Amino acid sequence: MRNQILPLTPSCVWRFFYDICKIPHTSHNLKEISDYITAFAEARGLSYSKDSVGNIVIYKPASEGMNGRKGVIVQAHIDMVGQKSLSSDHNFTTDPLTIYEDNGWVRAIDTSLGADNGIGVAAILAILDDNSIAHPEIEALFTLDEECGMEGARLLDKDFLRSSIMINTDSEEDNSAFIGCAGGIDFKASLNYINEVCNIDGIAYKLVIKGLYGGHSGVDIHRGRANANKLMFRFLNFISQAYNIRISEINGGDTRNAIPRSAEAIIVVDKIFRNDFLKEVSLFAKLYRHEYDTVERGVTLTCEECDMPNGILPVEFQPKFINLVEATPDGVDRMIPNIDDTVETSSNLAIVKCNNGNAVIQILVRSTMESRKYNFISRLFSLYSLVDAEIELFGDYPSWSPNLNSPILNIAKEFYRDCYGEELKTKVMHAGLECGIISSIYPDIDMISIGPNMLYPHSPDERVEIASVEKFWNFLLGILKNAPLK
């Protein structure tokens, strides 16, 4: 049931989150939210700095009686992943998000919510805004473009930060502190071809796979959800061999770090195979629903007639391209042997596009072990070298190695135990966190990552639990109040 947003607790956090939701702030579209943050600082007489790429630090002196404690960096990224339902006409470059309360959670109508990492941004602003909160000297670090390769953190100036403790606010479980994360790298392959003229006595169809959950390719990769690109090429592989169909174009996935929720293809079917082809569409639709009925809400595979295309893939290129994508690994590659339920290495077949003489495949590889990350990339090179693809690597960022003896972790554990009467869980996240990059630039910073409960980030089903936001807020304040003595 969709309800209007009611006053929520803590109001100091939610009011800033509401402001953030009004400002378009997907990656590389951050001027307005950056201006909002600097105007916030100026209005409160807080000094701030911008580094060479636009990362922002706002400084706030220690509150009364807290000067004897070490300063703390509190960090969040200001961009969000823009994902919307197929029926939505939302424009992420110009439109505000429309949010609502749904049975104890906050969501956005037909779009991702941006609680990743908007709640963290809002909590930091609330700390800076309230002079009654006990805290040491604060460096509030707001980084750019985390969702597209952690570009802001990677280009962080080496003399920008001065404190030796950092709390990252970009994790998604309110009973856990994350002390490590996977590194990642993007693999992009391009192949060129020359379209053949389509002179087949056939019928053109638009194939559509949709209805998938998708989700964050790090946080959700272990859930066994369907990847729309893999489903599409599995079907194309079968029908191209059985009925000699020809492909004109393919478009699957649109975000490097989101599991693809939909894929489309324009194909041409010989008229004599029309009925058989339509039966196969129906059979595969049922097959996919059956295979994923425990993890998906309802995969659909549909087709409808469309205009005959001018060009189709060359007869020798089509099977090569289909086999290439079919053979591309996707999902969990290996679990960490000595840490329960934690992914070590994975890949996400994020984007596949093929049209007008150019085919592009983009894969995001993650691993908590640098050696295995690069070994996986080597395996992809071996596969794609078989078709002489042009390869590009980018967005390489390091993993964050756990420190079980972290002083700030021990403070967090003690406060959590005293406050909630249970032990704080310590985990390693398979998704990338900026902690890995920042620790490579500032190796002496002691850091942890905390956050409220969130589900399905990087998808239109993204949501944040209202009660856990209050718990996260109190936990954050408790850690700051108990920061180590100098």
Whether 102 is a known active-site residue: answer: no
Interatomic CA distance for residues 266 and 282, integer angstroms: 17
Do residues 215 and 456 lie in contact, with contact meaning Cβ atoms separated by under 8 Å? yes
130 is catalytic: no
Look at the chain and count its residues: 486
What's the rounded Cα separation, in Å, for the pair 429 and 165? 20
Q: How far apart are the first and last CA of the chain?
A: 51
Do the Cβ atoms of 151 and 144 come closer than 8 Å? yes
Structure tokens belonging to residue 131? 């002079």
**Which pair of structure tokens corresponds to residue 293?**
């009925």
Amino acid code (one letter) for 416: Y
Question: Tokens for 24?
Answer: 């378009």
Which residues partner with 209 through β-bridges?
263, 301
Q: Could you tell me which residues come within 8 angstroms of residue 21 by beta carbon, excluding any fewer than 6 positions away?
A: 96, 97, 99, 108, 113, 114, 118
- For residue 195, the one-letter residue type is N
Angle (nearest 5°) at CA 199 between 201 and 196:
140
Strands (E), 374-441: 390-397, 425-429
In the numeric block, the tokens 């406050």 are attached to 419
Tokens for 395, please give them.
């967005």
Q: Residue 432's closest CA among 261, 303, 281, 256?
A: 256
Catalytic residue among 139, 146, 220, 465: 146
Residue at 421: amino acid letter = G
Question: Which of the following is catalytic: 51, 79, 137, 186?
Answer: 79
Question: What distances in angstroms separate CA 11 from CA 15, 442, 474, one per listed residue?
Answer: 6, 34, 13
Helices (H), 355-429: 370-385, 407-420
Residue type, 306: C
**CB 312 within 8 Å of CB 195:** yes
Write phi, then psi, for 246 (nearest 5 degrees): -120, 140
Measured distance CA(143)–CA(419) in Å, rounded: 31
Active site members: 79, 146
